[in-house]
Amino acid sequence: MRHISYTLQPMNPQEVIISQDLERDLSAAIQRVRPDRLFVLTDTTTREVCWPVVASFQCLAAAEVITIGATDEAKTLETLASVWTALGEGGATRHSMLINLGGGMVTDLGGFAASTFKRGIAYINVPTTLLAMVDASVGGKTGINFRGLKNEIGVFNAAGTVLLDTQFLRTLDSKNLRSGYAEMIKHGLISSDEHLAELLCFDLDYVDYAALLPLVGTSVNIKERIVREDPHEHGIRKALNLGHTAGHAFESLAMAEGRTVLHGYAVAWGLVCELYLSATRCGFPPERLHQVRQFVRQTYGTFDFDCHAYDRLYDLMTHDKKNTAGHINFTLLAAVGDIRINQNATREDIFEMLDYYREG
Protein backbone atom coordinates (compact mmCIF):
# COMPACT_ATOMS: atom_id res chain seq x y z
CA MET A 1 0.00 0.00 0.00
CA ARG A 2 1.28 3.44 -0.93
CA HIS A 3 0.41 6.46 1.20
CA ILE A 4 0.81 9.95 -0.21
CA SER A 5 0.09 12.75 2.22
CA TYR A 6 0.16 16.45 1.63
CA THR A 7 -1.59 19.54 2.89
CA LEU A 8 -3.54 21.92 0.69
CA GLN A 9 -3.72 25.22 2.55
CA PRO A 10 -6.10 26.65 3.52
CA MET A 11 -8.17 23.67 2.38
CA ASN A 12 -8.44 20.53 4.49
CA PRO A 13 -5.45 18.18 4.75
CA GLN A 14 -5.84 15.39 2.19
CA GLU A 15 -4.48 11.86 2.27
CA VAL A 16 -4.40 9.89 -0.98
CA ILE A 17 -4.02 6.12 -0.63
CA ILE A 18 -3.60 3.50 -3.32
CA SER A 19 -5.28 0.80 -1.31
CA GLN A 20 -4.62 -2.92 -1.22
CA ASP A 21 -7.26 -3.43 1.50
CA LEU A 22 -10.17 -1.09 0.94
CA GLU A 23 -12.22 -2.17 3.97
CA ARG A 24 -9.32 -1.62 6.36
CA ASP A 25 -8.36 1.75 4.87
CA LEU A 26 -11.94 3.02 4.66
CA SER A 27 -12.60 1.98 8.25
CA ALA A 28 -9.48 3.80 9.42
CA ALA A 29 -10.45 6.96 7.51
CA ILE A 30 -13.93 6.93 9.05
CA GLN A 31 -12.56 6.33 12.54
CA ARG A 32 -10.28 9.34 12.30
CA VAL A 33 -13.40 11.53 12.08
CA ARG A 34 -15.81 9.43 14.18
CA PRO A 35 -18.93 10.82 12.52
CA ASP A 36 -22.30 10.72 14.26
CA ARG A 37 -24.01 9.67 11.02
CA LEU A 38 -22.60 8.20 7.83
CA PHE A 39 -23.91 8.59 4.28
CA VAL A 40 -22.75 7.09 0.98
CA LEU A 41 -23.44 8.89 -2.30
CA THR A 42 -23.75 6.75 -5.43
CA ASP A 43 -25.25 7.24 -8.86
CA THR A 44 -27.55 4.69 -10.46
CA THR A 45 -24.62 2.92 -12.11
CA THR A 46 -22.30 2.74 -9.11
CA ARG A 47 -25.21 1.72 -6.87
CA GLU A 48 -25.63 -1.35 -9.06
CA VAL A 49 -22.00 -2.13 -9.92
CA CYS A 50 -19.79 -0.72 -7.14
CA TRP A 51 -21.90 -0.60 -3.99
CA PRO A 52 -22.01 -4.44 -3.81
CA VAL A 53 -18.19 -4.41 -3.50
CA VAL A 54 -18.38 -2.46 -0.23
CA ALA A 55 -21.90 -3.13 1.07
CA SER A 56 -20.73 -5.89 3.43
CA PHE A 57 -18.03 -3.71 5.05
CA GLN A 58 -18.65 -3.52 8.80
CA CYS A 59 -17.70 0.15 8.83
CA LEU A 60 -20.63 0.88 6.48
CA ALA A 61 -23.23 -1.17 8.34
CA ALA A 62 -25.08 1.92 9.58
CA ALA A 63 -24.56 4.02 6.45
CA GLU A 64 -27.51 5.49 4.56
CA VAL A 65 -27.13 5.29 0.78
CA ILE A 66 -28.15 8.27 -1.36
CA THR A 67 -28.49 7.59 -5.10
CA ILE A 68 -28.58 10.21 -7.86
CA GLY A 69 -28.79 10.00 -11.63
CA ALA A 70 -25.76 8.96 -13.65
CA THR A 71 -23.80 10.89 -16.31
CA ASP A 72 -22.83 14.54 -16.39
CA GLU A 73 -26.40 15.55 -17.21
CA ALA A 74 -27.23 14.90 -13.54
CA LYS A 75 -24.54 17.31 -12.31
CA THR A 76 -27.11 20.04 -11.69
CA LEU A 77 -28.42 22.36 -9.01
CA GLU A 78 -31.55 20.20 -8.77
CA THR A 79 -29.49 17.08 -8.07
CA LEU A 80 -27.38 18.97 -5.54
CA ALA A 81 -30.53 20.11 -3.75
CA SER A 82 -31.77 16.51 -3.66
CA VAL A 83 -28.56 15.46 -1.89
CA TRP A 84 -28.90 18.28 0.64
CA THR A 85 -32.50 17.18 1.20
CA ALA A 86 -31.53 13.54 1.71
CA LEU A 87 -28.83 14.56 4.18
CA GLY A 88 -31.26 16.73 6.11
CA GLU A 89 -34.01 14.11 6.16
CA GLY A 90 -31.44 11.51 7.22
CA GLY A 91 -30.56 13.55 10.30
CA ALA A 92 -27.11 14.69 9.17
CA THR A 93 -25.38 17.21 11.43
CA ARG A 94 -22.13 19.18 11.17
CA HIS A 95 -20.46 16.09 12.65
CA SER A 96 -21.67 13.68 9.95
CA MET A 97 -19.69 12.30 6.98
CA LEU A 98 -20.39 11.69 3.29
CA ILE A 99 -18.55 9.04 1.28
CA ASN A 100 -18.63 9.64 -2.47
CA LEU A 101 -18.55 6.30 -4.28
CA GLY A 102 -18.43 6.94 -8.00
CA GLY A 103 -16.84 8.71 -10.90
CA GLY A 104 -15.98 12.35 -11.39
CA MET A 105 -19.59 13.53 -11.45
CA VAL A 106 -20.25 11.92 -8.05
CA THR A 107 -17.03 13.17 -6.45
CA ASP A 108 -17.53 16.70 -7.86
CA LEU A 109 -21.18 17.04 -6.84
CA GLY A 110 -20.81 15.06 -3.62
CA GLY A 111 -17.79 17.10 -2.60
CA PHE A 112 -19.74 20.31 -3.19
CA ALA A 113 -22.74 18.98 -1.27
CA ALA A 114 -20.52 18.05 1.69
CA SER A 115 -18.65 21.36 1.54
CA THR A 116 -21.84 23.41 1.76
CA PHE A 117 -24.25 21.36 3.92
CA LYS A 118 -24.28 22.85 7.45
CA ARG A 119 -21.35 25.01 6.18
CA GLY A 120 -19.30 21.87 5.62
CA ILE A 121 -19.18 18.24 6.75
CA ALA A 122 -16.34 15.73 6.39
CA TYR A 123 -16.16 13.67 3.24
CA ILE A 124 -14.18 10.85 1.67
CA ASN A 125 -13.79 10.10 -2.04
CA VAL A 126 -13.72 6.50 -3.26
CA PRO A 127 -13.36 7.03 -7.03
CA THR A 128 -14.55 4.16 -9.18
CA THR A 129 -13.51 5.36 -12.65
CA LEU A 130 -10.08 6.01 -14.08
CA LEU A 131 -11.05 9.64 -14.74
CA ALA A 132 -11.96 10.18 -11.10
CA MET A 133 -8.84 8.39 -9.84
CA VAL A 134 -6.31 10.43 -11.78
CA ASP A 135 -8.18 13.73 -11.88
CA ALA A 136 -11.57 14.58 -10.39
CA SER A 137 -11.27 13.07 -6.91
CA VAL A 138 -7.85 14.54 -6.09
CA GLY A 139 -7.05 18.19 -5.50
CA GLY A 140 -10.12 19.69 -3.90
CA LYS A 141 -12.15 20.99 -6.85
CA THR A 142 -15.88 20.46 -6.33
CA GLY A 143 -18.87 21.76 -8.21
CA ILE A 144 -21.81 21.45 -10.57
CA ASN A 145 -22.69 22.54 -14.09
CA PHE A 146 -24.92 25.60 -14.36
CA ARG A 147 -26.67 27.35 -17.27
CA GLY A 148 -25.07 24.96 -19.73
CA LEU A 149 -21.52 25.67 -18.52
CA LYS A 150 -19.15 23.06 -17.10
CA ASN A 151 -18.34 23.32 -13.38
CA GLU A 152 -19.64 26.88 -13.27
CA ILE A 153 -20.50 26.76 -9.54
CA GLY A 154 -18.30 25.18 -6.89
CA VAL A 155 -15.66 25.54 -4.19
CA PHE A 156 -12.12 24.39 -3.45
CA ASN A 157 -12.36 21.94 -0.55
CA ALA A 158 -10.38 18.71 -0.52
CA ALA A 159 -11.73 15.39 0.72
CA GLY A 160 -10.10 14.32 3.96
CA THR A 161 -9.14 11.00 2.35
CA VAL A 162 -9.11 9.69 -1.22
CA LEU A 163 -8.97 5.90 -1.51
CA LEU A 164 -7.90 4.50 -4.88
CA ASP A 165 -8.71 0.84 -5.42
CA THR A 166 -7.95 -0.29 -8.95
CA GLN A 167 -10.32 -3.29 -8.66
CA PHE A 168 -13.07 -0.85 -9.70
CA LEU A 169 -11.37 -0.29 -13.05
CA ARG A 170 -12.39 -3.80 -14.08
CA THR A 171 -16.04 -2.65 -13.89
CA LEU A 172 -15.49 0.00 -16.59
CA ASP A 173 -16.40 -0.37 -20.22
CA SER A 174 -13.83 0.59 -22.83
CA LYS A 175 -15.23 4.09 -23.43
CA ASN A 176 -15.09 5.07 -19.76
CA LEU A 177 -11.58 3.65 -19.37
CA ARG A 178 -10.45 5.68 -22.38
CA SER A 179 -12.13 8.77 -20.99
CA GLY A 180 -9.94 8.65 -17.89
CA TYR A 181 -6.89 7.82 -19.95
CA ALA A 182 -7.16 11.18 -21.73
CA GLU A 183 -6.34 12.96 -18.46
CA MET A 184 -3.32 10.67 -18.13
CA ILE A 185 -2.17 11.72 -21.62
CA LYS A 186 -2.50 15.32 -20.45
CA HIS A 187 -0.35 14.54 -17.40
CA GLY A 188 2.22 12.95 -19.71
CA LEU A 189 2.31 16.06 -21.89
CA ILE A 190 2.96 18.36 -18.94
CA SER A 191 5.60 16.10 -17.41
CA SER A 192 8.16 14.29 -19.60
CA ASP A 193 8.79 12.70 -22.99
CA GLU A 194 9.49 9.39 -21.27
CA HIS A 195 6.15 9.23 -19.47
CA LEU A 196 4.27 10.41 -22.55
CA ALA A 197 5.92 7.68 -24.62
CA GLU A 198 4.82 5.05 -22.07
CA LEU A 199 1.25 6.28 -22.30
CA LEU A 200 1.10 6.45 -26.08
CA CYS A 201 2.39 2.86 -26.32
CA PHE A 202 -0.11 1.35 -23.87
CA ASP A 203 -2.61 -1.02 -25.46
CA LEU A 204 -6.12 0.17 -24.60
CA ASP A 205 -7.72 -2.58 -26.69
CA TYR A 206 -6.32 -5.36 -24.49
CA VAL A 207 -5.79 -3.74 -21.10
CA ASP A 208 -3.06 -5.13 -18.85
CA TYR A 209 -4.35 -3.92 -15.46
CA ALA A 210 -1.11 -4.81 -13.68
CA ALA A 211 0.81 -2.62 -16.15
CA LEU A 212 -1.81 0.13 -15.84
CA LEU A 213 -1.41 0.44 -12.05
CA PRO A 214 2.04 2.11 -12.05
CA LEU A 215 0.91 4.46 -14.82
CA VAL A 216 -2.03 5.47 -12.64
CA GLY A 217 0.34 6.01 -9.71
CA THR A 218 2.61 8.23 -11.79
CA SER A 219 -0.36 10.21 -13.09
CA VAL A 220 -1.69 10.83 -9.58
CA ASN A 221 1.79 11.90 -8.44
CA ILE A 222 2.00 14.47 -11.24
CA LYS A 223 -1.32 16.03 -10.26
CA GLU A 224 -0.52 15.95 -6.55
CA ARG A 225 2.81 17.67 -7.05
CA ILE A 226 1.20 20.51 -8.95
CA VAL A 227 -1.76 20.87 -6.58
CA ARG A 228 0.56 20.93 -3.56
CA GLU A 229 2.47 23.83 -5.10
CA ASP A 230 -0.62 25.80 -6.16
CA PRO A 231 -3.85 24.59 -4.48
CA HIS A 232 -6.09 27.44 -5.66
CA GLU A 233 -4.95 27.68 -9.28
CA HIS A 234 -3.23 31.05 -9.14
CA GLY A 235 -0.24 29.82 -11.12
CA ILE A 236 1.23 26.44 -12.10
CA ARG A 237 -1.96 24.49 -11.32
CA LYS A 238 -3.27 26.00 -14.55
CA ALA A 239 -1.01 23.43 -16.27
CA LEU A 240 -3.75 20.93 -15.48
CA ASN A 241 -6.09 22.88 -17.77
CA LEU A 242 -4.23 21.82 -20.92
CA GLY A 243 -6.87 20.69 -23.41
CA HIS A 244 -9.73 21.93 -21.26
CA THR A 245 -10.55 25.33 -22.75
CA ALA A 246 -11.42 23.80 -26.11
CA GLY A 247 -12.49 20.52 -24.49
CA HIS A 248 -15.06 22.12 -22.19
CA ALA A 249 -16.47 24.04 -25.17
CA PHE A 250 -16.87 20.79 -27.11
CA GLU A 251 -18.46 19.16 -24.07
CA SER A 252 -20.90 22.04 -23.49
CA LEU A 253 -21.87 22.20 -27.18
CA ALA A 254 -22.51 18.47 -27.26
CA MET A 255 -24.65 18.70 -24.12
CA ALA A 256 -26.67 21.60 -25.58
CA GLU A 257 -27.25 19.60 -28.77
CA GLY A 258 -28.40 16.51 -26.90
CA ARG A 259 -25.40 14.36 -27.85
CA THR A 260 -23.52 14.29 -24.53
CA VAL A 261 -19.91 13.13 -24.75
CA LEU A 262 -17.65 11.76 -22.03
CA HIS A 263 -15.42 14.37 -20.42
CA GLY A 264 -12.18 12.59 -21.32
CA TYR A 265 -13.14 12.37 -24.97
CA ALA A 266 -13.73 16.13 -25.04
CA VAL A 267 -10.37 16.70 -23.32
CA ALA A 268 -8.61 14.48 -25.86
CA TRP A 269 -10.09 16.50 -28.73
CA GLY A 270 -9.19 19.67 -26.85
CA LEU A 271 -5.59 18.49 -26.55
CA VAL A 272 -5.31 18.29 -30.34
CA CYS A 273 -6.63 21.84 -30.66
CA GLU A 274 -4.43 23.31 -27.96
CA LEU A 275 -1.29 21.51 -29.10
CA TYR A 276 -1.90 23.11 -32.50
CA LEU A 277 -2.00 26.51 -30.79
CA SER A 278 1.12 25.45 -28.90
CA ALA A 279 2.88 24.69 -32.19
CA THR A 280 1.88 27.97 -33.83
CA ARG A 281 2.32 30.20 -30.78
CA CYS A 282 5.02 28.55 -28.66
CA GLY A 283 7.04 26.34 -31.02
CA PHE A 284 5.73 22.98 -29.79
CA PRO A 285 7.37 20.29 -32.00
CA PRO A 286 5.16 19.45 -35.01
CA GLU A 287 6.15 15.78 -34.86
CA ARG A 288 4.82 15.54 -31.30
CA LEU A 289 1.59 17.27 -32.37
CA HIS A 290 1.20 14.74 -35.19
CA GLN A 291 1.93 11.83 -32.84
CA VAL A 292 -0.68 12.91 -30.28
CA ARG A 293 -3.24 13.77 -32.98
CA GLN A 294 -2.90 10.29 -34.49
CA PHE A 295 -3.29 8.65 -31.06
CA VAL A 296 -6.37 10.73 -30.29
CA ARG A 297 -8.01 9.99 -33.65
CA GLN A 298 -7.37 6.26 -33.31
CA THR A 299 -8.48 6.12 -29.69
CA TYR A 300 -11.26 8.72 -29.42
CA GLY A 301 -12.45 9.31 -32.97
CA THR A 302 -13.41 12.89 -33.83
CA PHE A 303 -15.99 15.41 -32.65
CA ASP A 304 -18.27 16.29 -35.54
CA PHE A 305 -19.07 19.97 -36.10
CA ASP A 306 -18.97 22.40 -39.02
CA CYS A 307 -17.92 26.03 -39.43
CA HIS A 308 -21.39 27.21 -38.42
CA ALA A 309 -20.57 26.06 -34.85
CA TYR A 310 -17.44 28.22 -34.56
CA ASP A 311 -19.22 31.25 -33.11
CA ARG A 312 -20.99 29.10 -30.51
CA LEU A 313 -17.74 27.36 -29.53
CA TYR A 314 -15.96 30.70 -29.28
CA ASP A 315 -18.76 32.05 -27.09
CA LEU A 316 -18.50 29.01 -24.80
CA MET A 317 -14.75 29.59 -24.46
CA THR A 318 -15.37 33.20 -23.40
CA HIS A 319 -17.18 31.82 -20.33
CA ASP A 320 -14.21 29.70 -19.24
CA LYS A 321 -13.25 30.32 -15.60
CA LYS A 322 -9.55 30.72 -16.52
CA ASN A 323 -10.22 33.87 -18.53
CA THR A 324 -9.07 37.30 -17.37
CA ALA A 325 -10.07 40.81 -18.46
CA GLY A 326 -12.07 39.50 -21.39
CA HIS A 327 -9.20 37.45 -22.83
CA ILE A 328 -9.55 33.72 -23.49
CA ASN A 329 -6.71 32.04 -21.61
CA PHE A 330 -5.08 28.80 -22.70
CA THR A 331 -2.43 26.61 -21.13
CA LEU A 332 0.03 25.81 -23.91
CA LEU A 333 3.35 23.97 -24.25
CA ALA A 334 6.66 24.93 -25.86
CA ALA A 335 7.70 21.28 -25.53
CA VAL A 336 6.59 18.28 -23.50
CA GLY A 337 6.93 19.43 -19.89
CA ASP A 338 7.62 23.06 -20.90
CA ILE A 339 4.41 24.72 -19.71
CA ARG A 340 3.23 28.18 -20.72
CA ILE A 341 0.21 29.34 -18.72
CA ASN A 342 -2.00 32.39 -19.35
CA GLN A 343 -1.60 32.37 -23.12
CA ASN A 344 -4.15 34.51 -24.96
CA ALA A 345 -5.60 33.73 -28.36
CA THR A 346 -7.64 35.91 -30.69
CA ARG A 347 -10.90 34.96 -32.34
CA GLU A 348 -8.95 34.43 -35.58
CA ASP A 349 -6.45 32.16 -33.77
CA ILE A 350 -9.28 30.08 -32.35
CA PHE A 351 -11.10 29.76 -35.67
CA GLU A 352 -7.82 28.67 -37.27
CA MET A 353 -7.39 26.12 -34.48
CA LEU A 354 -10.87 24.77 -35.17
CA ASP A 355 -10.08 24.59 -38.88
CA TYR A 356 -7.01 22.51 -38.07
CA TYR A 357 -8.99 20.18 -35.84
CA ARG A 358 -11.58 19.53 -38.55
CA GLU A 359 -9.19 19.34 -41.53
CA GLY A 360 -5.75 18.50 -40.11
117 and 193 assigned to the same domain: no
- Of the three residues 126, 152, 169, the one that is the final residue of a domain is 169
Mean pLDDT, rounded, for 276-296: 97
What is the longest distance spanned by two Cα atoms in the chain? 59
| Beta strand ranges found along the chain (DSSP E) | 2-7, 13-18, 38-43, 64-68, 97-102, 122-127, 144-146, 149-153, 161-164, 329-335, 338-344
72 and 90 assigned to the same domain: yes
Given pLDDT bands bounded at 50, 70 and 90, which one contains residue 2?
low
Q: Is the peptide bond before 13 cis (omega within 30 degrees of 0)?
A: no
Could you read off the pLDDT of 130-147 as tens digits, one per residue?
Answer: 999 998 888 889 999 999
Give me the domain span that covers residue 32: 2-169
105 and 131 assigned to the same domain: yes
What was the pLDDT predicted at 12? 52
Mean pLDDT, rounded, for 289-301: 98
345 and 197 assigned to the same domain: yes
- Of the three residues 154, 169, 184, the one that is the final residue of a domain is 169
- Type of residue found at 80: L
- Of the three residues 153, 169, 185, the one that is the final residue of a domain is 169
Distance (Å) of CA 176 to CA 85, 219, 301: 30, 17, 14
Could you read off the pLDDT of 174-187 as tens digits, one per residue?
Answer: 999 999 999 999 99
The reply to whether the predicted model has a pTM over 0.85 is yes
Q: Which CATH number is 65's domain given?
A: 3.40.50.1970
Distance (Å) of CA 260 to CA 35, 62, 148, 150, 251: 37, 36, 12, 12, 7
What was the pLDDT predicted at 6? 37
323 and 201 assigned to the same domain: yes
103 and 181 assigned to the same domain: no
With vertex at residue 128, the alpha carbon angle to CA 63 and CA 150, rounded to the nearest 5 degrees, is 100
180 and 248 assigned to the same domain: yes
What was the pLDDT predicted at 7? 37
Q: Is the pLDDT of residue 9 over 90?
A: no
DSSP conformation class of 119: G
Mean pLDDT, rounded, for 251-271: 95
183 and 246 assigned to the same domain: yes
Q: Is 266 left (phi over 0), alpha (psi -120 to 50) or beta?
A: alpha
Crossing angle of the two packed helices 77-89 and 104-116, in degrees rounded to 10: 60
Given pLDDT bands bounded at 50, 70 and 90, which one contains residue 231?
confident
> From CA 61, how far away is CA 119, in angstroms rounded?
26
162 and 199 assigned to the same domain: no
258 and 312 assigned to the same domain: yes
220 and 346 assigned to the same domain: yes
**Beta-strand pair 97-102/122-127:** parallel
Number of domains within the chain:
2
Could you read off the pLDDT of 45-71 as tens digits, one per residue?
Answer: 999 999 999 999 999 999 999 999 998
Of 104, 24, 96, nearest to 63 by C-alpha is 96
Q: Which CATH number is 334's domain given?
A: 1.20.1090.10
95 and 218 assigned to the same domain: no
Q: Is the pLDDT of residue 277 over 70?
A: yes
